[in-house]
Amino acid sequence: MEDLVIKLVLAGIMFFGVLNLAGLHTWIERKQSAVMQDRIGANRADILGFTVLGLFHPIADAVKMFTKEDIVPEGADRVLHTLAPFFSVFFALVAFAGIPFGDHVVWGDRVIDLQVAKLDAALLYIFAMLSLGVYGVILAGFASRNNYALLGGLRATAQMISYEIALGIAIIGVILVYGTLDLQELVRGQGTYLAGGWIPLWGIVVQPVAFFVFLTAALAETKRVPFDLPEGESEIIGYFVEYSGMKFGMFFLADFLETILVACLTTTLFFGGWQVPYLMPDGFHFPWGATIPLSQWTYVLLGVASFSVKVLAFCWLFMQIRWTLPRFRYDQLMRLGWLGLFPISVVNVFVTALVLTFF
Amino acid sequence: MAANVKVMRRPELTFWEKTYLPQILSGLKITSAHFFRNLFLHAAHSVGLLKHIPAAVTFQYPEILRPLAMRFRGRHRLTVRDEGTPRCVGCMLCETVCPAKCITIVAGEHPDPNVEKYPVRFDIDLGVCVYCGYCVEVCPEDAIRMDTGIVDIAAYSRGAMQLDIHELMNPKLRKPLTEQNCTLKFPHECRLTPGHVKGDWNQVYGDTQSAPK
């Protein structure tokens, strides 16, 4: 019973953070692009005269989405058409269960890992959920009974399957180095130090090539610019062309959720997850000899804060990339995936394996 | 092949360029530089510092208007004599030259024999107007100008786009107008009180005896 309550609380914290961040992403997207492009951005929605930097726009968006007419095209498969956006959001949301967002807390005689589902193969679980997310997309394209939507769905499927391979092989290097599929253990493994304790042994230090391959492939998985061929809002119209109202909003939400998930994964795999440099469970141990003792709760909270900051930084980076680069052409996309990232990731796995075997 | 044809070969990309990374990074450098510069300026503006350096090139439109060019052609106005009558002498040149035929003038007799005529009615249908400015060019009396700087000419109906002499002589008037908006003293076909000709030259010149002969 108590276990259930603890898990529910953990899930609640994760959901609260993730869903709010996803909602805020609509605001971040508008404001960040505006600031980059010397504009102001959405700033008109107000409650009683207060605009608060346009922060009420996500609320206005939600109200708009919920009150808009929900259109199911004639001849469409009603069940699948309704189910598709739920699939997209569901698989994007459940994947977060595997992300560790803090070290364990010792509470009485209990050791609580700050991870919703403590799975031995959390990494495989997350990738399985990411892969299942493609069902929402293909179903949306298929059930709309619109040829353009179907083409968009097929483009999305081809793209996601192609990049999943590079994505999966890129992380094999990380798994080889840390020797675990358990993300919590993987993050703990990144708490050791190189070069006399100066450089933390984060994934980016030992697997820089894998990091770039993973980042590129993961961006492609999120289906956002420069890999937004499935959607192509402005001209080639994608799989959700026949969706309106909150169903469309759910695809939008799934997009943002995937962006956050990818930011969480990048943080966990390559940037030490909740690790703070030089922070041990009993406080800071700097390589020049100084120490700052900290209580357990401070340590855990610092870890959660560190994880959040890193995730936010990656969200910022992804948004910056999204508003900087133009879209790939489809042949360029496939060439980059199959002839660029795939061989590089395979070579990376081989080199990593050789180095680990002989040194 | 002719001798003066120069064949331009597509430049070969180096390996480093083929990875796209340098261009992506330089692009990110530009956008990030703008982002952090503007973020810093927005933050400074919010506490009242560095207000003279703008953080955005946009204008917050309804509150702040963009500066207009001197020759910008906006909503029309009729220029006014000292005593409050229009300078227009009802010569019909603007109505004649108007390519969109959006001007309607009904001329009346002016008590001053040097003036001869004046507009009893002067309407411009802005829904038809093409803002060419010919009416301004052609006017011999400098009686019509397009220098009000009013750019937000929009309405929910075609009727609301039609300006009459009240709005042309007083650009500050906005629809909907009521009878109280009529401040014109000379006789005119007042469309605010349908069908009536309102006003009297006595109200302009005191009484007919002192009116210019």
pLDDT value at B211 more than 60: no
Q: What is the ipTM for the molecules in this complex?
A: 0.87
Closest CA to A273 of A113, A78, A136: A113
Closest Cα in chain B, distance from residue A310 (Å): 18
pLDDT of B209 reads 53
- Which residues in A lie closer than 8 A to residue B58 (C-beta atoms)? 38-40
**Mean pLDDT for the stretch of residues A11-25:** 92
pLDDT of B56 reads 87
What torsion, rounded to 10 degrees, do the Cα atoms B185, B189, B193, B196 define? 100
In the sheet that A291-293 helps form, which strands lie side by side, from edge to edge? A279-280, A283-285, A291-293
> Are the CB atoms for A183 and A100 separated by under 8 Å?
yes
Q: Is B22 an interface residue toward A (CB < 8 Å)?
A: no
CB A35 to CB B39 under 8 A?
yes
CB A324 to CB B60 under 8 A?
no
Closest Cα in chain B, distance from residue A36 (Å): 4
What's the number of CA atoms in the CB half-sphere (13 Å) around residue A83? Answer: 11
**Mean pLDDT for the stretch of residues A167-191:** 90
**pLDDT bracket for residue B210 (50, 70, 90):** low
- State which residue of chain B sits closest to A37, comparing Cα positions: B34
Instruction: Give the model confidence (pLDDT) of A328-357 as tens digits.
Output: 888 888 988 899 899 999 999 999 999 999
- Tell me the one-letter amino acid at B158: R
pLDDT, averaged across chain B:
87
Query: Any long-range contacts for A150-157 (C-beta under 8 Å, 24+ apart)?
Result: A150/A239, A152/A230, A152/A231, A152/A232, A152/A236, A152/A237, A152/A238, A152/A239, A152/A240, A152/A241, A153/A230, A153/A238, A153/A239, A155/A229, A155/A230, A155/A238, A155/A330, A156/A223, A156/A229, A156/A230, A156/A231, A156/A238, A156/A239
pLDDT of A41 reads 87
- Which residues in A lie closer than 8 A to residue B30 (C-beta atoms)? 324
Q: Is B35 an interface residue toward A (CB < 8 Å)?
A: yes
- Which residues in A lie closer than 8 A to residue B42 (C-beta atoms)? 35
Interface test with B, best of A36, A43, A227, A333 (most B CBs within 10 A): A36
Instruction: Give the model confidence (pLDDT) of A308-324 as tens digits.
Output: 999 999 999 999 999 99
CB A320 to CB B39 under 8 A?
no
CB B31 to CB A325 under 8 A?
no
Output the pTM of the full model. 0.84
pLDDT of A318 reads 93
Instruction: Give the model confidence (pLDDT) of B114-163 as tens digits.
Output: 888 999 999 999 999 999 999 999 999 999 999 888 888 888 999 889 99
Lowest mean pLDDT segment, chosen from A40-44, A59-63, A235-239, A253-257: A235-239
pLDDT of A269 reads 92
pLDDT of A232 reads 75
Closest CA to B83 of B118, B32, B129, B107: B118
What's the number of CA atoms in the CB half-sphere (13 Å) around residue B213? Answer: 2
pLDDT, averaged across chain A:
89
| Structure token pair of residue B41 | 């300026």
Residue reference for tokens 């959405």: A42
